[in-house]
Amino acid sequence: MTLRAPFGHLKTCDGQILWADEDAHDLLGYAIGALIDMPFADVCAVPSDVGEAGQGGDMPVPARGASQRSRIALRTHNGHPLLVDLRGERMDDRCVLWTLIPAATGLRAERLGLLERRDALTRLANRVPSFDDMPLRAHAEEAERLLAVCYLDIDRLRDINDEFGPLGGDGVLREVARRLRSALPHDAAVARVGGDEFALVLPVASQAQCEMLLRQLLARIEHPIRLQERLARIRASIGVALMVHGSQPTLSVA
C-alpha cells in the first residue's frame, strides 16, 4: 500500500491558482481540477497582521528563500476552516509554490516537520546537510578523504518556462532531481536550495576523481529532456569547493 503525503501543494501566479496536486484538492474538499484558475484569496484570506499583501492579494514572499506562516485558517469547499502551516517559495518563473501542512501537535507534528524539510516539487531535501548527517564511513584509511561541496545551477531555466510554460519548467526540475539521485554515489547528499539551484555534498578520493564525476554528472543532466512531445535542451553550471573532512576548504574550482 502506498501512503500519501499528509500535506498539499499548489502554485499561484498573480493571485490565481495555476496548479494544485491531488492532496491539496483533498485537504480543501474540492473535486480534482476544481481549484485551477480560482483566486488564491478564495482559499486563503491574507491575515491582517501580515502587512502589505503581495501582487494579486497573495501573502508577500521574498525573491529568494521562503515565507513561513503558522496556523493559518484556509477556507474549504464546505466553508469549514482548515488550520495549516503555510510555506511559500518564489519560483524562477516568478510564481509561488505553496505547501499546505495541516497544523498538528505531538508526534504527528514532529513527523510533519520532517516531511516539511523536503522540497515539494522534487522531493529532495531543501537544505544542505550537516557533515554529521552525511553517511560517511569512518574507517581509519579514509581519515583524509576529501569532501566536494558543489552548487549546481540550471542555466536559462526561464527560457524553458517561456517556451513550454511553468509546468514545463517544473518538469525539467523534477527530471534534473531524478538524474542527480540516480547518478550520485550512495554516500552523497543532494538538496534543492533555490528555484533552479541544487547543492551536492559527496566524498571523493582526489581532485581528479571529483572532476571526472562532475563532468559525467553534467553530461547526464544536459542530455535532452522530452517535454510535451518535444525535446528541451538545457545546460548547467557547477562550482565546487574541496575540503578534507573536518577541516576548512582547501580548493575551489569553478
* DSSP code of residue 197: E
Tell me which of 92, 119, 170, 196 is the catalytic residue: 196
58 is catalytic: no
Distance of alpha carbon 210 from alpha carbon 185, whole angstroms: 12
Beta bridge partners of residue 244, listed in sequence order:
146
> Using alpha carbons only, how large is the chain's radius of gyration in Å?
20
Burial 236-247 (b: 16+ CB within 10 A, else e): bebebebbeeee
Which of helix, strand or coil describes residue 72?
Answer: strand
The set of cell numbers assigned to 174 is 523534477
Which of helix, strand or coil describes residue 128?
Answer: coil
Residues recognised as catalytic: 196
